[in-house]
Structure 1
Amino acid sequence: MIALILLHGRFKGEMMQFNNKWTKWLLTGLAVLILGGGLIFFGNFFAQNAGHTEQSAPSGHTKSKKKGLQISASNGANYKTVINDGHYKVSKARGVTASKNGNEFNMVSFENGLLNFSKDHFSTDRYIFQEGQYLNSDTALDWLGRKSKDNPTGLNPADNGKTDSSRAPIYLQTLEEQDFMTQKGNDLSLAGVVVGLAMNTQDSYQKEKYGATYRQNISKQDYEREGRKIAQSVIERYRKLPGIKQNTPIIVAMYAQAPDDSLAGGNFYSWVQSTSGSQLSKWHAIDDQTVVLPMEEGTANDKSVANELNTSFKNFTKNVQNFFPNLSSVTGQAAYHDKQLAGLNVTVTTQFYSATEIRSFANYLAQVAPNYLPGGVPVQIRINAATGMQAYVTKSADSTKYSVTILGSY
């Protein structure tokens, strides 16, 4: 019996030893399988991701492959423009003003008029347009400020402390630089600079902070006199800017801003050029005029350049008001250069709220506009409602067909 017990104990011990060995082998095998599978998994993972880094990103999220300088295409009537690394090269000082501009038409007519002026001096088929790159916004702000101990470069006169008509007004409201380049191979060279100076004909100010707004009229004699002084200083300062050579042609075009309550923008009235150093050529007059349509009773006369247009514009207004009675007003701005119509902007204010009404009305305007509005010049018709501009109808100078754009539509 004792022998049987000892034999059973030996057998049990050997079995336990055998089980321990098998368990070790099993655990070791599982560990190898898990480790091998993990290596295969992570190997595939990194291989796949390494492959993804070499593939292009999804459409709409790709980085531009265009590096360096490119030049946009042009139809001949407009300038080719400068593109840098796939992005339009914007102005370094665009939109900088001495004070808030209360007439939105001024900035539009100033920028558009300056570009049209430049086309008379730098042809679109020979030169490339570049937004101003030599005057930065900080310097422009200093120039547009009043001259003071803290701002010795201010082009506007120092504050004389007066708050009546004898106060020193802000003459220079804003300025804009346009650069014109020539291309040789992959290189661009500066061929000339045009600087527009917008002069106030009326200066708005407050006697105390958050107080009432007062308006000080500036005579033509005064803003022209001060404008010539400022133009001389601007040319002298531009000569000192990095990248501007002593023989780079610089043209300064003078613009008279319209008062804040005007229904039209201002006009360019003169220009001067410097071809070397700070020397200026003689001043040249610019015969520009902006006429608000319909003309008020008594303003239309035999000498007005807009008599014929005024008549057709009234007929246009009558037609569209008969078709759509929910109109608040129809006004226009006709731009003339050397007594020739250069462009027409029309603003139609409506009481429409329905998207279908806006669309139907815009399409109707595109249909009837050629019967009343002038050809051979660019025309833009803006349709405004209480919530803002809803649509616009436009045509180019060389077209008779109007195109319709409905804002916010899909």
Structure 2
Amino acid sequence: MKRVAFILLSLFLLVTGCAPDYDEQEEVIQENQKNDKREKAIVAKYSISKDYYRPLEKYKPGKARGVLMNQVANRLDIEEMEIGLRRHSKDVFDPEDYFFQEGQYLTEDMLYDWLERKLTQQQVNELLEGASQELSAEELQRGLNPSLKDDATEEDYRDRPRYLSHILEHNFLQKNEDGTVEVEGISIGLALRSTYRFQPVKYGAYHYEQISREESLKQGKQLAQTVLERIRKIEALTDVPIMIALYRQEERGSMVPGNFMTKTTVKGSDMTIKEWQPIQEDYVLFPSDEAKEEHRDDSELIADFQAKIAEYFPNYIGVVGKGFYKDDELAKLTIDIPIEFKGKTEVIGISQYVYSLIVEKFPTYFALEVNIESHNGQESLIFREPGDEKPTVHIYGQ
């Protein structure tokens, strides 16, 4: 995706004939919430497009950097949760008015504590008795997942899965009249498992328990209320608007990511979530039974596309498509075409043929990206924005 972004940016600059002047920057002061010390921060005047937030020049990694990678097994889920949370944040925090920064308030230690299981009363008592310093039950009771007794059986594990796998934080800043920049909103994404993997016997076999979408929503909404109450206890966040979205992960080996299910926005200083807004998004794999059953026309279009390529190109291996649907309508289609590389001439030939098929057969109401790849890496990229009649082609090495 980095390569795609670079290509898109390069093409944009080539077409417009002028590049953003990154030397033209504005200096603002960032409010340090801990010691009330003001720090200078540089903000670029330009961004790649209106869909991107302007960052501060000195990029601050999130305080819980790395936790997402450790807690979420599927890389596709990791990418979609980050990109999707920012996408939904734009409805609340307009990129024209806000700067973006990775989360600076929920720390790594804090998240690992919250992602643990609650303790049973017996576990709390044992910890209090054996503590070398004076502790309270509240200090120990930080886990958000269901409690589990020490001698839990397989059935206990199935009845009390770890629903919550991660909490992702994004910060949104605004410039004040005096030139300071401070956080004026945050977004929180709660990652919820669709499949719970557990090991009731140490070093024993792994078992799996499916978690329904309905159960994910129910548990996620309860967890969101608790997370909100805890966030409000952080001094800098007592009165900022908070957007919370619930994300349902896919299985570990899935070839498509999961999706956001619902979101809510809580006004500054509010302590209670009042209502949720459903999100109708889904990723669908082509070919698949789900695609045939729920998106027959799109499935047949891609099957015909695959057949035409097979007729034309002898070293073709297959086609894998990923459709992103919003409100049951295809918004973006990504197609990967692996080939056996036999020379640049073949790459040019298949790229030209795929280009012609796209122009002839694919509707223009959705975004399209086609990646032609070999064992050497990506050979060519064909992409088209919604509404464009003709796609753009880039052949690597040309």
TM-score normalised by length of structure 1: 0.71
What's the offset of the Cα at 1:99? 5.4
Aligned twin of 1:92: 63
Go from structure 1 to structure 2 and tell me whether the alpha carbon gap of 1:405 and 1:133 turns closer, same or farther (over 3 Å shift).
farther
- Equivalent AA in structure 1 for residue 323 of structure 2: A
Structure 2 unaligned segments of length 5 or more: list them. 1-26, 28-39, 128-139
1:291 aligns to 2:284 (yes or no) = yes
Q: Is the 8 A contact 1:381 1:392 kept in 2?
A: yes
Q: Is the 8 A contact 2:310 2:316 kept in 1?
A: yes
CA distance in structure 2 between the partners assigned to 1:102 and 1:353 by the alignment: 35
CA distance in structure 2 between the partners assigned to 1:71 and 1:292 by the alignment: 38
Partner SS, residue 328 of structure 1: coil
- Equivalent AA in structure 2 for residue 179 of structure 1: N
What's the offset of the Cα at 1:322? 2.5
Go from structure 1 to structure 2 and tell me whether the alpha carbon gap of 1:204 and 1:350 turns closer, same or farther (over 3 Å shift).
farther
Of the two, which has the highest radius of gyration? 1
What's the offset of the Cα at 1:171? 0.7
- Which one is further off, 386-395 or 263-272? 386-395
Aligned twin of 2:78: 107
Aligned twin of 1:138: 109
- Equivalent AA in structure 1 for residue 198 of structure 2: Y
Go from structure 1 to structure 2 and tell me whether the alpha carbon gap of 1:370 and 1:156 turns closer, same or farther (over 3 Å shift).
farther
Partner SS, residue 282 of structure 2: strand
- Which one is further off, 359-368 or 217-226? 359-368
1:193 aligns to 2:186 (yes or no) = yes
What's the offset of the Cα at 1:101? 3.5
CA distance in structure 2 between the partners assigned to 1:139 and 1:353 by the alignment: 53
1:80 aligns to 2:73 (yes or no) = no
- Equivalent AA in structure 2 for residue 199 of structure 1: L
What's the offset of the Cα at 1:196? 1.0
Go from structure 1 to structure 2 and tell me whether the alpha carbon gap of 1:154 and 1:358 turns closer, same or farther (over 3 Å shift).
farther
Aligned twin of 2:135: none
Q: Is the 8 A contact 2:145 2:163 kept in 1?
A: yes
CA distance in structure 2 between the partners assigned to 1:89 and 1:380 by the alignment: 31
What's the offset of the Cα at 1:316? 1.9
Partner SS, residue 273 of structure 1: strand
Aligned twin of 1:352: 341
Aligned twin of 1:332: 321
The residue correspondences of 1:241-390 to structure 2 (distance < 5 A) are: 241-244=234-237, 246-275=238-267, 276-296=269-289, 300=292, 304=294, 306-352=295-341, 357=346, 361-362=350-351, 364-366=353-355, 368-385=357-374
Go from structure 1 to structure 2 and tell me whether the alpha carbon gap of 1:237 and 1:383 turns closer, same or farther (over 3 Å shift).
farther
Partner SS, residue 88 of structure 1: coil
Q: Is the 8 A contact 2:319 2:337 kept in 1?
A: yes
- Which one is further off, 137-146 or 346-355? 346-355
Go from structure 1 to structure 2 and tell me whether the alpha carbon gap of 1:189 and 1:219 turns closer, same or farther (over 3 Å shift).
same
Q: Is the 8 A contact 2:256 2:284 kept in 1?
A: yes
Aligned twin of 1:124: 95
Q: Is the 8 A contact 2:189 2:246 kept in 1?
A: yes
Q: Is the 8 A contact 2:317 2:338 kept in 1?
A: yes
CA distance in structure 2 between the partners assigned to 1:227 and 1:336 by the alignment: 23
> 1:201-252: per-residue Cα shift (whole Å, max 9, x none)?
10123345555433211123322222112101111111122421x3311111
- Equivalent AA in structure 2 for residue 138 of structure 1: D
Aligned twin of 1:164: 154
What's the offset of the Cα at 1:112? 2.3
What's the offset of the Cα at 1:257? 1.1
> 1:357-406: per-residue Cα shift (whole Å, max 9, x none)?
55654565455434444434433334455576666544444654334364
CA distance in structure 2 between the partners assigned to 1:391 and 1:162 by the alignment: 54
Q: Is the 8 A contact 2:283 2:325 kept in 1?
A: yes
- Equivalent AA in structure 2 for residue 181 of structure 1: L
Partner SS, residue 81 of structure 2: helix
CA distance in structure 2 between the partners assigned to 1:107 and 1:315 by the alignment: 32
Partner SS, residue 123 of structure 1: coil
Partner SS, residue 310 of structure 2: helix
CA distance in structure 2 between the partners assigned to 1:353 and 1:205 by the alignment: 46
Go from structure 1 to structure 2 and tell me whether the alpha carbon gap of 1:323 and 1:108 turns closer, same or farther (over 3 Å shift).
farther
- Equivalent AA in structure 2 for residue 280 of structure 1: I
- Which one is further off, 315-324 or 393-402? 393-402
Q: Is the 8 A contact 1:201 1:256 kept in 2?
A: yes
- Out of 385, 391, 394, the position equivalent to 1:401 is 391
TM-score normalised by length of structure 2: 0.73
Structure 1 unaligned segments of length 5 or more: list them. 1-65
Aligned twin of 1:235: 228
> How many residue pairs get matched?
337
CA distance in structure 1 between the partners assigned to 2:361 and 2:348 by the alignment: 20
CA distance in structure 2 between the partners assigned to 1:328 and 1:211 by the alignment: 39
